[in-house]
Each structure stands twice: as C-alpha cells, then as structure tokens.
Amino acid sequence: MGQHFRFAIVSDPHIARPETIYNGPHRFHLVEVSIPGIEQIFDHLETLDLDFLLLPGDLTQHGEWVNHQWLIDRLKQLPFPAYVVPGNHDVIARDASDRAIGLADFPRLYQDFGYSDGKTLHYQHEILPGVRLVTLNSNAFEPNGEQIRVGYVDQAQLDWLEATLAEYADDLILVMLHHNVLEHLPGQSNSPLGQRYMVSNAEEIIWRLEAAGVRLMFTGHLHVQDIARRGDLCEVLTGSLVSYPHPYRIVEIEHGDGELRMDVRSRRLTAVEPWDDLQAMSHQWMCDRAGWFMTKFLVSPPVGLEQAQAEAIAPKLRHFWAAVADGDTQLDFSHLPPDVQERLAHFNSVDSDGNPQAIDNTATLVWPAK
C-alpha cells in the first residue's frame, strides 16, 4: 500500500523568553524573533493539512527550564503531532542546574513529543501506517559532565539503530537528529570549524542507513538551508528560525510500488514585530557580525589562508555567510585574488557542469523503483 503525507520542519527555534535573553557583541542568533516568529509559523501551519511536525533540535536558547516549558505548553496546543530531538543548546551540561535542564530531564519533559518512555534519549515511532520516525541523540558529554563540542552517537545507539532498521525493514524510515551526518559545506568533515556541526562518527551511521536502504534524514544545527545527497541517502538540513533567512519547510512525500518522491518547499518569516522588513534587518545583522567569523573561516580548511591575508579579505566577504545560510548560494568572487576565487568557488550551488543549481529551498527528489 502506498503512502502520501505532508509535514513541516521548524529547526533551531532557540526559544527565549524575554527575561532569559542575553546580549553580546558577537551574538548571531536573533532570539528576540523566537517566540513571535514561531507563533506566526504555527498560525500558518494550522491552516494546512499537515500530518505532523519535526523539530530537529536547539529548541531553546541555552536549555533554560522556562524556555523548555514554554515550548512544551505551546506544542501541546497544536492540532497535529510534533516530534523533537535535543540539540546542543537544549542540554548545555549533563547535570541540571537551577537555570537549565540536565540530560535525563529532556526525555521526561518531552514524553508527548516522541519520548514515550520518558527515559531513553533515542526513539522510534510509527507516525503513520508504514511510516516510521527513527531519532538519535547526537549530544555527548565528558566524564565531568561538560558537553563535547562535536556531535557523537554512542555505540549503544548504533546497535539499537541497526536492530531497529532490521526489525522495520518494510517501513518507510525517516531519520532525525540534530548534528549533520552528510557534508553541507565543501570539506566540512575535514575542517575544525565545520566538524563541530557534524557527527564525529558519521560513517558509522551512514553505512547502517545505506545497508538498510534508508533514504531520508532530517537535521539542523548549522543554521543553513541545504539539501545534500550521497548516493540514495538524502539529508535535508533546515536553517534556524532565529537566523537569516528565518526559514521553515513544508515537505510532501509519496511512496508506493518502490518509487519515492519528496517535494520540499521553503517559507520564511518576512515581518516580526517590531521589524516590518525582517529579512533586510536580519541580513544586515548577520553581515555586521561576520568579520571575526569570516577571518576564522578563511584560515580554516578547506580555504586555509594565512592569518594576515584572511584579515585583509574578510571585510570583502561580509555577505558570504548570509548567502550560504540562504541556500542556493550564488556569489561573485571576481574581486578576490585568483587562488582565493578558486577555493571559494566550491561554495556556490552548481551542477556537475558548473551551471547554477537551485535545490536547497525548493526541490523535487525522486528515487525510482529498483
């Protein structure tokens, strides 16, 4: 029997009640948008005929009890099921404090949103007949309780994943976790700057998914609109609600007779009180704060410039990261030295012939029957 369903993705909302918002000169996250923005998105989603909602982590600003509780209360009001996973901002330390939750608190708090046993940090759930959501926890901690600054999926979860995929081999599997498994930037897995957004043992996940014929995976964390493929495995990365371009996605899937079709459409917030033109303001906000980040980016692999050259070029690339976050990147690097042009050209979204290719925001992907 075939399946046809529609769902939404809202990633990295970083919910921040007003009393929890902090200010700093390098803050990229426009968390003031989080609550009015997600209310606006939910209002729109409630007009659609959705089967469910996915939230791939970083639900809160910094794991605050009050911010988690606000989101939980709001998710309970939705007319469709919602499913979550923890991001690095949701559990900032293994042990709870007066201000922030601990790791064991997350599944207990989100029992209504996938974590039915209230204890385990990974779960599987038949969200529709023959359609199964499989989620992983990609947060990890040092023995002293401090968070490890990269994603990691432990052996117990990998064993569980392998067994779960074997048990439900006839189902259409959707995988969700916070950190990226596939690369969404050139050389991401080899760059110290890019690695922190990935699962460090991603290959251990990939071969298990490939062996089971899994094709669909949904992540967040990088605050970038991107769709990546490796063979039949596809990872849909959704940008952050509180970072330019403030996107969310509507996904429609048809599956039957061995063929799979996924239609991805993206929307974005355009105005949130007090900003009538949120897109312009947020773009400027990101560009104004890009200097230190771009210098760090340019000295890191795969670009790998000398510090002095990076500092000289960074001001000329103040729009770079906003363009990457926007998805379907098309930037002109002709004003830069030829060697730098060559290194940065890989960040543009082009096909194998070098022609512009727009697939990150709007895409139709088809897997033919085998």
CA nearest to 188, candidates 305, 302, 321, 307: 302
Same domain? 242 vs 289: no
pLDDT score of 354 more than 90: no
367 found inside a domain: no
Same domain? 157 vs 14: yes
- pLDDT score of 24: 74
Q: Which residues does residue 84 pair with via DSSP β-bridges, in sequence order?
A: 55
275 found inside a domain: no
261 found inside a domain: yes
Same domain? 286 vs 167: no
Same domain? 129 vs 37: yes
Same domain? 56 vs 123: yes
- pLDDT score of 243: 98
Question: With bands split at pLDDT 50, 70 and 90, how would you rate the model's confidence at 14?
Answer: very high
Same domain? 31 vs 92: yes
For the stretch 54-71, pLDDT in tens is 999 999 999 999 999 999
- pLDDT score of 130: 97
- Where does a domain end: 219, 241, 268? 268
Question: With bands split at pLDDT 50, 70 and 90, how would you rate the model's confidence at 321?
Answer: very high
Same domain? 261 vs 208: yes
- Where does a domain end: 268, 296, 325? 268
365 found inside a domain: no
Domain count, the chain: 2
For the stretch 253-275, pLDDT in tens is 999 998 999 999 999 999 999 99
Question: With bands split at pLDDT 50, 70 and 90, how would you rate the model's confidence at 343?
Answer: very high
Same domain? 302 vs 183: no
Same domain? 234 vs 319: no
**pTM of the full structure:** 0.97
Same domain? 264 vs 284: no
Same domain? 153 vs 72: yes
Distance CA 133, CA 165 (A): 11
pLDDT score of 1 more than 80: no
For the stretch 68-88, pLDDT in tens is 999 999 999 999 999 999 999
pLDDT score of 368 more than 70: yes
CA nearest to 80, candidates 104, 55, 98: 55
CATH number of residue 263's parent domain? 3.60.21.10
Boundaries of domain holding 290: 280-347
Token pair for 34: 């989080």
Same domain? 254 vs 300: no
- Where does a domain end: 234, 268, 302? 268
